[in-house]
Structure 1
């Protein structure tokens, strides 16, 4: 029995050895599959040759139009107020010298006439003494007495020819009464308000017929054809703005444009906008402009000599760019003259170098890349030419 077990074990091992041997034999007869190498992926980048020129930069700023001259209509006297030659309504236009409003001055007028009548009486009382004691100036005072009209302003007093005459007039109260009347005449003029310029009424606070006291605000007027634009300029751009610079002003909404000039700049930072306020005068033209209109301005800044404009996205670490040298990416530092919203102005590279002008993803120094030639770009769509597609992908970000 023991011998028989050993025979069965030996036959089993022999069959297994024979099976493994035959499998290796037939496997060796089969041809090995061909190993394909992965395709070489070429990375393409968009480049432009470095070139320099003088660049006129601009500071773009938005703001609202405001009148350059605005006045509040305030009463200096009390009484019943009435509208003048134009209606006291918002938007009402007027010419310079137009009576805008007046305050009932009947009582003040009568009081002034009474004062002038008393003054005439005082002059008449001193004429006999003048003829005797100051005959040398009697005719002048007699002519002055005849020229006084209580409905008109008092003429100027004759000049005293001696100290004695001046003392005589002072003791009679002539000078005191004269200047009291002149003061009343000036006050009477404040009962009527005439327009100091051509303009329009922008605000009305009191209606015609209302009783007003001194200091009451009746309304607000603005000057026609005198506007300025208040814009907020970032502090980094302020050194580029200069007083007296001509400015192009335009409205994209109405497709209108005007000429202007930088007339003043604030010496402090606006706490609300964290920028500096710049004021631009607007020259009146054929195209009408409105107070409160929101428009844009292009302020010519200083000219950059020998600079190059590149996309802001092509700049790394504030002063580094990529250039292509013999299919290798190279990191180089540049001098940034000015940073704008979408572009920057740089210098510091050799003329003719191939500068990468698109943002790169996962790029590094000495990385192998290829320039994306113009023929590889579809001229109509800006996409790679389908008839000659480059192998691999573009490093530029979407």
Structure 2
């Protein structure tokens, strides 16, 4: 019995071995699977060389083009006027901004005028006798002398004798003393040099104003300037009068300005040149932060692509017969996101967007929008 069982087991093992061997032989003869070729879809663009405008981004704060810092040259009590001296108060050209009490100085002016009048009146008898030919003009001057008005200019002296006589009596020195006092009297009132608005007020009515004290600031709110720093390489290209596109930080409003001035010197520390952009708009306020785009140069026969499409060795990928290849290009200007290239022939098919892991010889195919996508884009 034992021998029979062992014989059966042996037969089963032999049959199993034969079947396993046949299976191995069958698997060995099967063809190996061929890995499918991976063809990446890429976005392409056809080169068409044109004239590229170089636009430099810049930014800065607005300041009023017409600005006056108000200082006192005299001392006295600040007297109120028709308008309050407060920030935001507007004034027309010629209106009084600040009026300082000048009653004491006014009395000194009137006293000096009176002395001049008396001095001229005292020499009239001598003029009638010794200089009858000039008596009439001095008599006319004396009759037109008005203490309530500005002192008129002395009559022109035609001879040395007349000059010596008038000067020797102290008339000329008295006249210039009066004019000096009158000039100082005018400084007790500060007149608006242009129509504008008060942006800073450091004194109020009744304040004792001292000589040299700052009183406030006055600006013209209609025209502003923005100072920007440009690379020295564009010093000879940037032109006065060039239009500039300006936007606010939120990109919700845009303005048109122009280059009003360009500094003649270069900053030794930053190697930049300062340009001033003039802009006028009713919505602008002093201190606003704006961004500017300056058109500084035009490059002919060039293209503009994303910076990440330019390889480290100044080459770009092109598509030839469904394969990627590289060609050399000449970069002439870099911005934050773009690069301007020359020496790329017209009609060359280049990548429009980067391809991860791209290499020369990679099999690619151009992206073709579906019909549904084209219809939807047409509807939009």
The question of 1:50 aligning with 2:47 is answered yes
SS at match of 1:32: helix
1:201-216 matches, within 5 Å, as: 201-216=198-213
Q: Mark the CA change 1:259 to 1:174 in structure 2 (over 3 Å): closer, same or farther.
A: same
Deviations 1:117-138 (A, max 9, x none): 1122211211111111111111
Instruction: Note if 1:373 corresponds to 2:370.
Output: no
Contact 1:65 1:291 in 2 (8 A): yes
Cα–Cα, structure 1 residues 26 and 161, in superposed 2: closer, same or farther, change >3 Å? closer
Q: Which residue of 2 aligns with 1:139?
A: 136
Partner of 1:109: 106
Inter-partner Cα distance in structure 1 for 2:278 and 2:366: 48
Corresponding position: 1:221 with 2:218: yes
Which of 27, 35, 40 is 1:38 aligned to? 35
Tell me, yes or no, if structure 1 residue 349 matches structure 2 residue 347: no
State yes or no: 1:258 paired with 2:255: yes
Moved more, 23-32 or 241-250: 23-32
Q: Is the 8 A contact 1:85 1:100 kept in 2?
A: no
> Alpha carbons of 1:274 and 1:165: their partners in 2 closer, same or farther (altered >3 Å)?
closer
Q: 1:262 to 1:167 in 2, by over 3 A?
A: same
TM-superposed CA distance for 1:239, in Å, is 6.3
Q: Would you say the 8 A contact 1:148–1:155 is kept in 2? A: yes
- Once the two structures are TM-superposed, the CA of residue 17 in structure 1 deviates from its matched residue by 11
Tell me how far 1:377 sits from its aligned partner. Answer: 9.6
Q: Which residue of 1 aligns with 2:147?
A: 150
Name stretches of at least 5 consecutive residues in structure 1 with no aligned partner. Answer: 1-11, 383-398
Q: Is the 8 A contact 2:79 2:100 kept in 1?
A: yes
SS of residue matched to 1:209: coil
CA 1:161–1:66: 2 relative to 1, 3 Å = closer
Please report the RMSD computed on the Cα atoms of aligned residues, expressed in angstroms. 3.0
Q: SS of the counterpart of 2:353?
A: coil
Aligned partner of 1:358 among 343, 353, 356: 353
CA 1:291–1:62 in structure 2 vs 1: closer, same or farther (change >3 Å)?
same
For 2:288 and 2:113, locate their aligned partners in 1 and report how far apart those are by CA, in whole Å. Answer: 53
What is the CA-CA distance between 1:180 and the residue it aligns to?
A: 0.7
Cα separation, partners in 2 of 1:270 and 1:359, compared to 1, 3 Å: farther
Q: Partners of 2:236 and 2:10 in 1: how far apart? A: 92
Corresponding residue SS for 2:111: helix
Aligned length: 366
Task: Name the stretch that deviates more: 194-203 or 74-83.
Answer: 74-83
Partner residue in 1 for 2:180: 183
The equivalent residue for 1:27 is 20
How far is 1:20 from its partner? 8.3
SS of the residue 2:157 aligns to: coil
Deviation at 1:175, TM superposition (A): 0.8
Deviation per residue, 1:130-183 (Å, 9 max, x gap): 111111111111121111111112211122232112111111111111111111
Structure 2: give runs of 5+ residues left out of the alignment.
Answer: 1-5
Q: Secondary structure at the match of 1:116?
A: helix
| SS of structure 1 residue aligned to 2:134 | helix
